[in-house]
């Protein structure tokens, strides 16, 4: 059974790999045997060091995914340095908070460009390579707000709803060509993106009160789901959005 989850010889690109969820997923994939191209606006040096400590290769790819300019370069540098591209984890994302009546066009565009536009075009670039090889795994990072509306984060909600739809569309187009496209929807995870929520006593209490597991998630809680969706164990899983949420959606 463990062989189904073995990623030995596979190469994974993980965006936003310098911290939080991206770092945790990169380490989980490396722990299962994958080599890692760690993509980030700031160098993911800590992540790379931890990957190499696990006995896997790691490269740093500097890329600001607020535009699609670095997309082709990410794929090219990964292929040149690591010799392949088998897994893509589209994790990089940002959030902007304001009441909808006050939300600015700049904050709308910044979030949509990073969280949705770059996700599609990086999937496209990786997908072209994977289709040529006849196999590949693409894992998008969705959100609870792929399913729900939230408050005070209109562009984030729109972007993550779009990630859910895009995941299904790409699965429809590419599944028969050997590419599994799925998503992970993290619940409320203790990262820098949720600092503001955890610092607000009322919001923190209301969130914790709804989570059946009774705690905020840790980024490492997402590792098993990522390994599953990156491995042959998920070869007949397509267009699925896997919630890792401590039971939030079941409440």
Q: How far apart are CA 58 and CA 45, in angstroms?
A: 10
Short-list 63, 33, 242, 238, CA closest to 138: 238
Neighbouring CB atoms inside 10 A of 20's CB total 19
Does 156 participate in catalysis according to the annotation? yes
- Location of structure tokens 């939300």: 103
Alpha helices in 32-153 (DSSP H): 45-53, 71-82, 105-112, 118-133
Burial class for 4, CB neighbours closer than 10 Å (0-12, 13-18, 19+): exposed
Q: How far apart are CA 145 and CA 97, in angstroms?
A: 14
What tokens appear for 33 in the block? 């045997």
Q: How far apart are CA 215 and CA 227, in angstroms?
A: 23
Alpha helices in the chain (DSSP H): 20-31, 45-53, 71-82, 105-112, 118-133, 154-174, 195-199, 201-210, 223-230
Beta strand 179-186 pairing with 241-244: parallel
Short-list 153, 147, 151, 91, CA closest to 123: 91
Please identify which of the residues 120, 156, 188, 216 carries the catalytic annotation.
156
Residues tagged active-site: 156
């Amino acid at each position: 059974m463990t062989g189904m989850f073995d990623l030995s010889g596979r190469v994974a690109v993980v965006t936003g790999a310098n911290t939080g969820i991206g770092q945790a997923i990169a380490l989980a994939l490396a722990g299962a045997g994958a080599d890692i191209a760690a993509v980030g606006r700031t160098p993911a040096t800590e992540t790379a060091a931890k990957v190499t400590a696990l006995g896997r290769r790691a490269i740093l790819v500097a890329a600001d995914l607020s535009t699609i300019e670095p997309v082709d370069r990410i794929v090219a540098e990964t292929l040149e340095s690591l010799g392949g591209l088998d897994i893509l984890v589209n994790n990089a994302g940002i959030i902007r908070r304001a009441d909808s009546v006050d939300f600015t066009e700049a904050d709308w565009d910044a979030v949509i460009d990073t969280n949705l536009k770059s996700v599609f075009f990086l999937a496209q670039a990786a997908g072209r390579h994977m289709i040529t090889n006849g196999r590949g795994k693409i894992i998008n990072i969705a959100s609870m707000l792929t399913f729900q509306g939230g408050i005070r984060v209109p562009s984030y909600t729109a972007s993550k709803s779009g990630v859910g739809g895009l995941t299904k569309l790409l699965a429809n187009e590419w599944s028969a060509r050997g590419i599994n496209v799925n998503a992970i929807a993290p619940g409320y995870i203790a990262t820098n993106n949720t600092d503001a929520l955890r610092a607000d006593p009322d919001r923190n209490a209301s969130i914790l009160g709804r989570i059946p597991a009774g705690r905020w998630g840790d980024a490492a809680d997402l590792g098993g789901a990522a390994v599953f969706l990156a491995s042959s164990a998920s070869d007949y899983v397509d267009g699925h959005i896997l919630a890792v949420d401590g039971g939030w959606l079941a409440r």
